[in-house]
Structure 1
């Protein structure tokens, strides 16, 4: 940004770029709110910016220091509720989604259904062999067609075959005392008025499980299942947004602290200024590719032993040899196999001095922070088809996709939507590149489509894109390549049609 743009950055309703063709919307009030919040907390906020290079935002706040030893703090706190299995029942799709997203942000395992009848069925299903852990909490809307929330709770309380009786919270837009009384008599443990505030919701849930030895054992089990990756600091060098989301979801769920570099040049700069236990390096990126970036990293003796792991969609021995020659330690194949990814990272970071928690800003404002794109928090997790996705989608192996993303249907739905929005014309892009005589661009386009389609388990598209890429790589005639592109077009058409139902 220019100095003039920086000077008005923290003014209300101000934007650096006010053109109507901006990619991103917004009113411009956010920076002003942040300024007010920082000042209310005894600090300040600012920005340093260089046109054409980037901007660094910083803030300071005054916080108190905990005086008790960590062990005493942990002993005096409420039970760790991460992994708490929660069932949400609300006939309103928007309210259901909002509640689901708030709960998943609290690290709960969430299933959402649209009726009282579906809630009863889901509770029974969870108690069958192979049904997973029983639900500990039921959040249910009061006013639903068919079985309303109160009657549903009564029937749940009458279910004698439940391995664990879930606590119930009634949600309603009506704050009448009569509703509260009836809900309490039915067995509800708490009552919240819509719209629900996320802080109030969390405090209410925490109060229900204070000093409660029935809190989830599976939270500890999930932590133990991470393969020793808790606190490992990883730089993910990947330019594709869908591939970023998949990798970040898997890694953060395993306790890994992740930063993202969107190109090879950024990856080199972040390694030089950061403190990482490993780098996951995509091979085909702008600015610098993965090979060039790794060579530059290795030129600095400080990073001679930093594990650099290639992420490649190529299965060729030649590609693997090139990775080793460039200074990489290992490779994992795309589409990502979570078990292979975790095993590889664990092997190369076993002796790392791991952080106690994911990286956070220091207490004081940094003087010259490293340029970085911090990974978002793990995406919301939803439960299966009832979370919004159908049982099947033509061209997509939903079972494998769900297994890869640990049944995170919210994230999977977003990935599929992004794929539908951004990749349906990649066959045309390949043809345009061929018509222009640009074989390299055609091959990169096919390669990119192959990697993304593999990660969302669009198998026919993946196979067809791989065939096109292989034909281009081996120097096949344009006529032969175009025949392969026709097969790719058919595969993309199948996926486009099936994913269009998600856009309605």
Structure 2
């Protein structure tokens, strides 16, 4: 806007461009009302504008502290508190893709939610007829019956007007949320599902007495220490944002590795799978396959694969042959970059885990003692204790790490403390009790 136009902005019934009023209507009071409201809060509104570039409005205002007492339960909410809030709630999870289902189920069961699963809308309707639920998480694109139709049946057939039904969809098209709400759903979660968003949404509908804004920071904390996840977070997988995928799994290393494995095993030949559907004229099946692949690519952090798949999905839906052809080419190119790198990463992780398991096995074997060895050790212990020799501690310490002696760990600890404190009479009694438990005679 010009300086002259800016000078008239806050005048009632004035439009800087009258063509806007003719086209869209309006009275020209919006900025006047805004200015007066801001001034009532001891503030000022200002504007910076440059013709053909843009306009910036900003304001200041004074807000007093509220005297309202806020319940401590709305403020003191840690991750364990979140579990308390929705633990034992019964949720119907409707999802046709087994990997998405597994991820969502593990996330929710991790905070104590009881899950019943359905693989399509038709099955969901049948289950709702038999069971009661606190909420439903409803996928949209599913075979046999989609999420919209299933929601309609649940609302009309069973008169469940107050049952929270929350849509989960990877469709990023404008108006998708509004479409879900118009179909009778209460809320909408985008895929890839962000754990923070999932938990906050469920708490909002399952516990309306809780202010979800108060739990945002506490939910962002990691489940595992960085040291435990170094071999994942420090990894490089071409075309994959590992940190992003790790966050989508609620920072669970095991769940992320499991999802990466599932993605690799199922979609190593995704291009051939899509081509087969297209060649046989099964366009809807091809579209659904690409839709599923798009969602899972996003879940592991493969953002470019997700973006390419989204464009290909639209091309198939609109039957635009040139775009389908170019989309398949782009997908093949990015896929060839991601899959070999992902395979190398999974092999490395498997080798590390195998090495750790072998090391643990070796340690267990090293720590094992047969009955004869134990008898000799306790004979030496008995001698040192009888002589009042504190060197007996050197014989006791290795016993603490022997798995077979875990049932008498408390007695071994007591024995060690008694020798350390030169309480040899008590130590002698404790040693006898240990030997009796192990069926070692003549000590």
TM-score under structure 2 length normalisation: 0.54
Equivalent of 1:277 in 103, 114, 134: 134
Offset at residue 480 of structure 1 (A): 2.4
Match of 1:374 in 2: none
Match of 1:455 in 2: 299
Match of 2:364 in 1: none
Equivalent of 1:416 in 255, 260, 263: 260
| Residues 309 and 331 in structure 1, CA contact (< 8 A), matched pair in contact too | yes
Considering fraction of residues, name the structure with more helix: 2
The change in CA–CA distance for 1:406 and 1:320 in structure 2 (over 3 A counts) is: closer
Bigger Cα displacement from structure 2, 448-457 vs 227-236: 227-236
Offset at residue 285 of structure 1 (A): 1.8
CA distance in 2, matches of 1:283, 1:454: 17
1:500 matches 2:343: yes
| Residues 381 and 411 in structure 1, CA contact (< 8 A), matched pair in contact too | no
1:472 matches 2:316: yes
Question: What does 1:142-291 align with in structure 2 at a 5 Å threshold?
Answer: 221-226=78-83, 228-291=85-148
Equivalent of 2:271 in 427, 434, 438: 427
CA distance in 2, matches of 1:343, 1:406: 13
Alignment deviations for residues 466-503 of structure 1 (CA, whole Å, 9 cap, x no partner): 11112223332x13211111111122222210121214
Counterpart of 1:341 in 2: which secondary structure?
Answer: helix
Match of 2:41 in 1: none
CA distance in 1, matches of 2:299, 2:100: 7
Counterpart of 1:401 in 2: which secondary structure?
Answer: helix
Offset at residue 464 of structure 1 (A): 1.0
Match of 1:61 in 2: none
Question: What does 1:303-322 align with in structure 2 at a 5 Å threshold?
Answer: 303-322=160-179
CA distance in 2, matches of 1:392, 1:500: 12
Q: Which consecutive residues of structure 2, in runs of 5 or more, have no partner in the other structure?
A: 1-76, 210-222, 351-443
CA distance in 2, matches of 1:225, 1:308: 20
| Residues 192 and 248 in structure 2, CA contact (< 8 A), matched pair in contact too | no
CA distance in 1, matches of 2:259, 2:116: 20
Match of 1:398 in 2: 242
Question: What does 1:11-50 align with in structure 2 at a 5 Å threshold?
Answer: none
Match of 1:335 in 2: 192
Offset at residue 454 of structure 1 (A): 1.1
CA distance in 2, matches of 1:384, 1:490: 34
Offset at residue 449 of structure 1 (A): 0.6
The change in CA–CA distance for 1:323 and 1:428 in structure 2 (over 3 A counts) is: same
- Largest Rg, 1 or 2: 2
Match of 1:484 in 2: 327
Offset at residue 314 of structure 1 (A): 0.8
Offset at residue 428 of structure 1 (A): 2.0
| Residues 232 and 242 in structure 2, CA contact (< 8 A), matched pair in contact too | no
CA distance in 2, matches of 1:450, 1:242: 12
CA distance in 1, matches of 2:287, 2:143: 15
The change in CA–CA distance for 1:338 and 1:468 in structure 2 (over 3 A counts) is: same
Counterpart of 1:280 in 2: which secondary structure?
Answer: strand
Alignment deviations for residues 54-108 of structure 1 (CA, whole Å, 9 cap, x no partner): xxxxxxxxxxxxxxxxxxxxxxxxxxxxxxxxxxxxxxxxxxxxxxxxxxxxxxx
CA distance in 1, matches of 2:232, 2:190: 30
| Residues 93 and 136 in structure 2, CA contact (< 8 A), matched pair in contact too | yes
Match of 1:440 in 2: 284
Alignment deviations for residues 384-411 of structure 1 (CA, whole Å, 9 cap, x no partner): 4456776222222111122222332122
CA distance in 1, matches of 2:180, 2:78: 36
Considering fraction of residues, name the structure with more strand: 1
| Residues 312 and 323 in structure 2, CA contact (< 8 A), matched pair in contact too | no
Alignment deviations for residues 99-156 of structure 1 (CA, whole Å, 9 cap, x no partner): xxxxxxxxxxxxxxxxxxxxxxxxxxxxxxxxxxxxxxxxxxxxxxxxxxxxxxxxxx
Q: Which consecutive residues of structure 1, in runs of 5 or more, have no partner in the other structure?
A: 1-219, 353-379
The change in CA–CA distance for 1:437 and 1:406 in structure 2 (over 3 A counts) is: closer
CA distance in 1, matches of 2:240, 2:228: 15
| Residues 394 and 498 in structure 1, CA contact (< 8 A), matched pair in contact too | yes
CA distance in 2, matches of 1:334, 1:230: 23
The change in CA–CA distance for 1:388 and 1:312 in structure 2 (over 3 A counts) is: closer
Offset at residue 419 of structure 1 (A): 0.6
Counterpart of 1:258 in 2: which secondary structure?
Answer: strand
Counterpart of 2:166 in 1: which secondary structure?
Answer: strand
CA distance in 2, matches of 1:462, 1:290: 22
